[in-house]
Structure 1
Amino acid sequence: MTDTTTKTRDDYGPFGAPLFDDPSARALSRVGVIDVGSNSVRLVVFDGAARSPAYFFNEKVMCGLGRDYAQTGQLHPEGRNRALAAMKRFAELSRGMGAKPVVTVATAAMREAEDGPAFRAEVERATGLPMWVVDGQEEARLSAQGVLLGWPGAEGLVCDIGGSSMELAQIADGRVGKRVTSGLGPLRLQGIPGGKKGMKAEIKRVMAELVEEVGTDAKRLFLVGGSWRAIAKIDMVRCGYPLHVLHEYRMTTKSVQATLKYIEAYETDELRARTGIGEARMALVPTAALVLRQLVRALKPREIAISSYGIREGLLYEQMPQRLRDRDPLIEACRFAEQKDARLPGFGRALYHFILPLFKGERDSRLRIIRAACLLHDVSWRAHPDYRHEACFDNATRANLGGLTHRERVFLGLALLHRYKNSRTGTRFEDLISILDDDQIAQAEVLGKAMRFGAMFSAQTPGALGRLSWHPKKKHLVLALTDTARDLFGEVTEARFASLVSALGATSEVKRLRQAPVDVAAEG
């Protein structure tokens, strides 16, 4: 990767020109995935060819195909009926939405039940959709690819728990490494003889075998699957965590242990009332909690991250060309949003280059958030002016975006809030903003006010009309204007410049620019 100086002079930065208009990327603009799991059957239709998936349609039916499998070796009769009905509906819906391709994938219950092949044939006759029944190794690989779709540089161990199985997969350098599968799914474990004691003994035995295969050196554990997400939701409630976005939610081993004790202390009905988790999902949580306790003890991860992306997103990733896989999911999604919703698509790039002198020396991880903010700065313009700042904040903090930590979400939201509003006093976001420290809050305000000024200064290419120079040691901001731009520096623009100067705690100077600047953003 090039250094920061080189990147600022490149037309689009390190990730190249957007790919969403490329034919190979547009082919992914409406991809359907039907996931036939041991506990649920779900249809997801992804929309848009941006690197970060958007969910055009998402529906789940809790069928329980794998219920009682441990005792009978068969798919549950009621689960079969419910799953077949759901599949018929999903086939018609996907055709009506023009989804192409539609991939149907089935996991543990379908691959292991004695009547799995017969049910597969029945579904294919009824829907016309071929069903891909994957083995445990392939299930692990696809789930790990889902994590890579959200975190291109992720390293660690992916743990995907379903109703009837649990898989582990190593990921590093954008690739999936060793994979192992096991029968540690809650539905299967509930059929183990000996009650809770028998389950604990089986979990401990199988976990020892898994650790022997994958080792204990994973710095980060990525948790995939509905039972893990339910436990994370309980952790949020226990901690009073203000941002209710499960993707990229982080936990420590200490907080996990505290939450597992919390789960043991309450009846499932009370936990449901506190968290809003559905009855069918909550029924599996106590058993999944036993698995997670042993998993954390055995692997000793330094950090635990929740991934909302799994096998379905892994199937989308499977169909992406490598050059799209290599892109930053956040930047691609923001470019796509700007192209679709901004008043002046393309202005975000020019704005980024104009305000970049304020952030010279920033690390790459912060520069990508600044770039994302500039791309998103105008996508909520249709909201009522009195609430536009709130719409911006909500859009950033609650949007389905990959490659974004919770702190980065809030930082991005706060910057966009200040793009439309000088003061955040009295807003309803104080609990969310508390996720940031004082320095991050101050930086987000500077970024927002810089965008606010730049967007008012010129509606086309501000870098062709003026130049910002920031002298951090002297805390002095210089705005150099061409003769043409002096007419643009009117009363409102001047007030927004003064607000930026105030946020920097700086002195300022406006002077004449004798030679027209080279508009870096317009080069290429």
Structure 2
Amino acid sequence: MEIKVLKNNQNLKLKPAKLAVIDIGSNSIRMLIYEDFNSSRVPFFNEKAVCELGKNLDKSRKLHKSGVDYAQKVLKRFSEILNVSKIVNLKIIATAVLREATDAKPFVEYVENLFKKKIEILSGEEEAICSAEGVKIGFDNVDGLVADLGGGSLELARVENGLITNKTSLPLGVLRLLNNPIVKKRNLSKYIKQLLRDEKWLSKKKFENLYLVGGTWRALFKLHLFQNKHPVHIIHQYSVNYETISSFVEKIASFNKAKLKTVEYISKSRTPYLPYSSIILDEIMKVTNPKNIICSISGIREGSLAKDYFKNIDNSQVFEKSLEYISKKRGDLGLTYKKYHEFIKPVFDGNEHFDEKLLNLACVLSHMDWGLGAFQKAELVFQETLNTPLLRLSHKERIQIALSCYWRYCSIKYNPKIEYLTFLNNNEIFSSKQVGAALRFAHSLTSISTIFLEEFKLYKRGNSVFLKIPAQHQEIISKQATKRFKALARELFLEPRVIYSNN
């Protein structure tokens, strides 16, 4: 089956976009497959192989022979997966190793013949742009420095108000440094300082955030996350302040080979690079002095797709499609979440502690009915929601939504583990309880039909919360619904009022 590339002028706004991207790097080759990139920027297939194509590249200027042999086997497997899966939309990108190797041509020809598709060999600046665009996919309101550390190079890009204002590429890849015949670990800091000093824009303005992209930094942050018993086991948007991470990277930078063998939680293929990635990060932080250091799983691959094919699709449209995508995945084929949202929304308008985005997601993610007991459902939906495959959620936002979904299934007198509550302030906890109580009440009205969510009205006036019921439906209100309405009013610190209407 012939692999085809998406055309840039294709109208993908309303069409599902099932596609794949292959990234040929200096250290590894990775393929991602997306079921519908318009609706979910999280791949359902994500496989990496460490081939080390760029091993000893600085010395030989050629591709590593054993790396080429292994890479060809890996790529043949990827080709078979695409054929079996009937994925015809493919993009192949390559970075420093194919830019610099003097004997890259035969390998490039092999890959292009295998997939019947041209490889896009990115320049250093194009890498920086794609990485920054990828981070913009994974975060709301990106502001700061994006740093993408690969096997052969380090890309840096400043993003201000969503725009890339500066960018550069430096020869600071971890595989390159590990095998560099001249630059050794003992003088690496001095070498990095000089390269960063030459980029004058780095020190001219302070950075609020430093976004880290790349497998070695993900491994470093995963290690920090587990060692510090962080309750949300998700690397994306794991954020640490400067003071906290500074001492950690200094410690990891000092590790020798014997000490690295004792490191737990991360892949052994990543451990040799940890000291190098730590030294690089330490020097970048010293120059840029960021307030927050944040890990991103979205980067060059996602950015290359978005930059070329999806740049004209606005964020609100992507968010709406992602809600529909998740609701259908959870069995809400009739998009019932929209009825829930419209019913409870008047009570939460203007709530700065649980905004519209979170309210929408709570309505979608709280939908679960597996025939289990209420408390079992509460525990399950909490974990499901906490780990939902969405990129643009901070860890605090995940906890807020998960708590509201938890209290949707059990009484607010119960609590999940206290370690989650410590991430929120009192107002955020109260708001999560209120949303949970509202969803719990709304569910009691839908035991017969969701049509009642359209005919009944819930709203606030003064110091009361009102439930407006058509007179012909007054017998529908059960004791359970009345009890839950009163519970919602208590959480809102309002008086419950019921109005029967003839129109």
Q: TM-score scaled to structure 2, two decimals?
A: 0.90
Q: How big is the shift at 1:46? A: 0.8
- The residue correspondences of 1:257-406 to structure 2 (distance < 5 A) are 257-264=246-253, 275-327=264-316, 330-343=319-332, 345-363=334-352, 366-378=355-367, 380-382=368-370, 384-385=372-373, 387-406=376-395
Query: In the alignment, residue 80 of structure 1 is paired with which amino acid?
Result: V
Distance 2:135 2:68 in 1: 30
Q: Indicate which of 451, 454, 458 corresponds to 1:468.
A: 458
Q: How big is the shift at 1:57? A: 0.8
Deviations 1:425-477 (A, max 9, x none): 374x44333322232222111101101111221333445432223356x3x32
Q: Which residue of 2 aligns with 1:446?
A: 434
Distance 2:133 2:320 in 1: 19
Q: Indicate which of 410, 413, 430 corresponds to 2:399.
A: 410
- RMSD, aligned CA: 2.5
Q: Which residue of 2 aligns with 1:77?
A: 65
Distance 2:251 2:470 in 1: 64
> Structure 1 pair 273/28, CA: closer, same or farther in 2 (3 Å)?
farther
Q: After superposing the two structures, state which structure 1 stretch, 236-245 or 494-503, moved more.
A: 494-503
Q: How big is the shift at 1:493? A: 1.6
- The residue correspondences of 1:92-103 to structure 2 (distance < 5 A) are 92-103=80-91
Contact 2:339 2:454 in 1 (8 A): no
Q: How big is the shift at 1:507? A: 3.1
Query: In the alignment, residue 19 of structure 2 is paired with which amino acid?
Result: V
Contact 2:412 2:437 in 1 (8 A): no
Q: Which residue of 1 aligns with 2:34?
A: 46
Query: In the alignment, residue 460 of structure 2 is paired with which amino acid?
Result: W
Q: Which residue of 2 aligns with 1:509?
A: 497
Q: Which residue of 2 aligns with 1:225?
A: 214
Query: In the alignment, residue 318 of structure 1 is paired with which amino acid?
Result: K
Unaligned runs of 5+ in 1: 1-21, 516-524
Q: How big is the shift at 1:377? A: 2.6
Query: In the alignment, residue 326 of structure 1 is paired with which amino acid?
Result: N
Contact 1:216 1:300 in 2 (8 A): no
Q: How big is the shift at 1:237? A: 2.7
Query: In the alignment, residue 174 of structure 1 is paired with which amino acid?
Result: G
> Structure 1 pair 468/28, CA: closer, same or farther in 2 (3 Å)?
closer
Q: Which residue of 1 aligns with 2:6?
A: none
> Structure 1 pair 62/205, CA: closer, same or farther in 2 (3 Å)?
same
> Structure 1 pair 194/165, CA: closer, same or farther in 2 (3 Å)?
closer
Q: Which residue of 1 aligns with 2:7?
A: none
Q: How big is the shift at 1:189? A: 1.9
Contact 1:168 1:180 in 2 (8 A): yes
- The residue correspondences of 1:193-232 to structure 2 (distance < 5 A) are 193=182, 195-212=184-201, 215-232=204-221
Residue 178 of structure 1 aligns to a residue whose secondary structure is strand
Q: After superposing the two structures, state which structure 1 stretch, 385-394 or 403-412, moved more.
A: 385-394
Contact 1:227 1:285 in 2 (8 A): yes
Q: TM-score scaled to structure 1, two decimals?
A: 0.87
Q: How big is the shift at 1:266? A: 5.1
Aligned: 1:252 with 2:241: yes
Query: In the alignment, residue 290 of structure 1 is paired with which amino acid?
Result: I
Q: How big is the shift at 1:198? A: 2.5
> Structure 1 pair 415/385, CA: closer, same or farther in 2 (3 Å)?
same
Distance 1:198 1:513 in 2: 79
Distance 1:341 1:88 in 2: 35
Q: Which residue of 2 aligns with 1:3?
A: none
Contact 1:64 1:79 in 2 (8 A): yes
Q: Which residue of 2 aligns with 1:12?
A: none
Q: How big is the shift at 1:288? A: 0.9
Q: Which residue of 2 aligns with 1:4?
A: none
Distance 1:94 1:215 in 2: 46
Query: In the alignment, residue 413 of structure 1 is paired with which amino acid?
Result: A
Q: Indicate which of 77, 99, 107 corresponds to 2:95.
A: 107
Deviations 1:210-248 (A, max 9, x none): 244674333222111111111211221333211111111
Distance 1:504 1:107 in 2: 54
Aligned: 1:436 with 2:424: yes
- How many residues are matched? 490
Distance 1:208 1:291 in 2: 13
Deviations 1:348-393 (A, max 9, x none): 2222122123223224971211122113331x33474453223322
Unaligned runs of 5+ in 2: 1-9
> Structure 1 pair 193/404, CA: closer, same or farther in 2 (3 Å)?
same
Contact 1:466 1:513 in 2 (8 A): no
Residue 43 of structure 2 aligns to a residue whose secondary structure is strand
